[in-house]
Amino acid sequence: MISDITWVTNGVQAGKGVAVSMRDSGIPRRTYLDRVVAIAKKSKVPFQIEVEFSGGSDGNQLQKAPYPFDWCFVGAPESNVHTPDEKVHKKDIAAMTAMYKVLMKEL
């Protein structure tokens, strides 16, 4: 699991739950991603699906490794990224923590 923040966008909003990313500049293996999303749905923890075409996470480095890694980005949406005014909604941090507890148990 890649634990980080992502951007608040039109599709990923503050206060609506943790973001599970389908893709950014890297693309996780679909079967693993489907497993993560199925666990997320079953958990009842608030989450949002994110689809980006830019930006990146440590998953990009895992894709370049000589070893096979399954990975998925799961993180809280943040506004004003990379500025002194960064903001993350408390509900999204709570959802992120709860989701990681479920995923670590189920995966």
Q: Which percentage of the chain shows pLDDT scores above 70? A: 94
Mean pLDDT of all residues in 21-36: 87
CATH of residue 57's domain is 3.40.630.10
Band of the pLDDT at 20, cuts 50, 70, 90? Answer: very high
Residue 44 burial (CB < 10 Å; 0-12/13-18/19+)? exposed
**Cβ contacts of 49 within 8 Å, gap of 6 or more:** 19, 20, 21, 22, 37
Q: Kindly report the backbone phi and psi dihedral angles of residue 48, in degrees, each rounded to the nearest multiple of 5, phi listed first.
A: -130, 145
Alpha-carbon distance values, 4 to 40, 51, 83 (Å) = 17, 15, 16
40-75 pLDDT, tens digit each: 999 999 999 998 766 677 677 777 788 888 889 899
User: How many structural domains are present in the chain?
Assistant: 1
Confidence at residue 67, expressed as pLDDT on a 0 to 100 scale? 87
Rounded to an integer, what distance in angstroms lies between the CA atom of residue 26 and that of residue 60? 5
Q: For position 98, what pLDDT does the model report?
A: 98
* Domain residue limits at 37: 2-106
Q: Which amino acid appears at position 4 of this protein? A: D
Indicate the pLDDT class of residue 76, thresholds 50, 70 and 90: very high
